Amino acid sequence: RQNIAIFFPKDPPADLCTHIIFAFSSLKKGKLTSYESNDETKDGVPGLYERIMTLKKANPKLKILLALGGWSFGTQKFKEMSATRYTRQTFIYSAIPYLRKRGFDGLDMDWEYPKGSDDKKNFVLLLKELREAFEAEAQELKKQRLLLSAAVPVGPDNVRGGYDVPAVASYLDFINLMAYDFHGKWERETGHNAPLYAPSTDSEWRKQLSVDNAANMWVKMGAPKEKLVIGMPTYGRSFTLANTDKHGPNAPATGGGREGIYTKEGGFLAYYEICEMLLNGAVYVWDEEMKVPYMVDGDQWVGFDDERAIRNKMHWIKSNGFGGAMVWTIDMDDFKGEVCGGNVKYPLIGAMREELLGISRGKEAKDVNWTAVAATFEDLEEEEKPAPIKIDVEELLSKVRKPVKKQRI
């Protein structure tokens, strides 16, 4: 990434989060290994693992976990690694020294997604054996036990098809609910990336796709509320409208929106890219039903979270007794504080921290009131009206009157 989008793991303030999850690691021959060539320190050049660990010097209470998997990692390697006790133990006894040697405090399992009865059973066994091994190692070496968490889906079919929720929850320290990507470029009508509540215009199926519904589904299926950490996006999902006159939720779309100039992925924009668009004439709409905003810029439609939406969700987390909030990702917030205009770095994550931990973002910080700052549809209508044409009635009449012939008398 270029310019304002350049970010390194050592960049965030050490007290921005209580836990940081480094995404991602990989598997090689069933054993835990690095994902990128520059993760590890080589030839005296500090790798990304070593660089992120410098944050612990500034904040010894900070916990840093290593995530395994992710969307692009697929499922096959997870299936093979979890298939038998032998393959699971091979992984576990590679993982513990790997994590300890590099200073990690735990492991985040990001299998997207277990599917079917074998995967469901083997995922539970993998978590059970990991937890038991972590406990035994901590006891033997008189160290703090390695933490175990997992990133889990919100789609009803994915949850029912791959997760024995009470069993999974019993072995995890916390459960990271990926409460985003509810809608996106794979659909042919607009929908918000992370609505707190579904809009009334949704079909019965789509009404299941909201943060509130997903979190409560996990609770109903057996997850303790206090272990559920609710995911917050620092990005939006975009669409290209089929008809610019129809621009609400569930409006017809031809597919994803145009790629951002920094993130360069169709249908996807970082918060700082969204801010740039809002400051350059895009329309901001707060949706009172969904408790989140969306943006319309010509034929581009973007559902995203701003500070107002984040604060709403934090109040909802506290009033419902959930464990906390996590974010995907740190580097898509306005981390330099140079774009969105609130006089603050990390405006979204900082708002979470203020609401959940009571830590101020600073005296100068303020939430951006996009309703006042950004354009409205009324503004656009004013711009589209042609300037009034001044007409000289006498001049016009003189052009249409028939000339009167002068007659000699």
| Active site residue ranges | 112
* 8 Å CB contact between 298 and 203: no
Tell me whether the omega of the peptide bond preceding residue 104 falls within 30 degrees of 0, making it cis: no
Is 305 within 8 Å of 312 (Cβ atoms)? no
- Beta carbons of 152 and 177 less than 8 angstroms apart: yes
State phi, psi for 304 to the nearest 5 degrees. -150, 175
DSSP secondary structure string, 202-248? S-TTGGG-SHHHHHHHHHHTT--GGGEEEEEESEEEEEEES-TT--S
Are 87 and 30 in contact by the 8 Å Cβ rule? The answer is yes
Those residues with Cβ within 8 angstroms of residue 112's Cβ, 6 or more apart along the chain or in another chain = 69, 70, 71, 73, 75, 151, 153
Q: Are 195 and 248 in contact (CB under 8 A)?
A: no
Q: Tell me the two tokens of residue 227.
A: 């272990």
DSSP string, 312-357: HHHHHHHHHT--EEEEE-GGGS-TTSSSSSSS-SSHHHHHHHHHHH
Structure tokens at 170: 């019993």
Specify the 3-state DSSP secondary structure of 81. helix
Q: What angle do CA 42, 45, 50 make, to 5 degrees?
A: 85
- 391, with CB counted inside 10 A (0-12, 13-18, 19+), is exposed
From start to end of 242-287, where are the E strands?
A: 253-256, 268-270, 283-287
Dist. CA 201–CA 186, nearest whole Å: 19
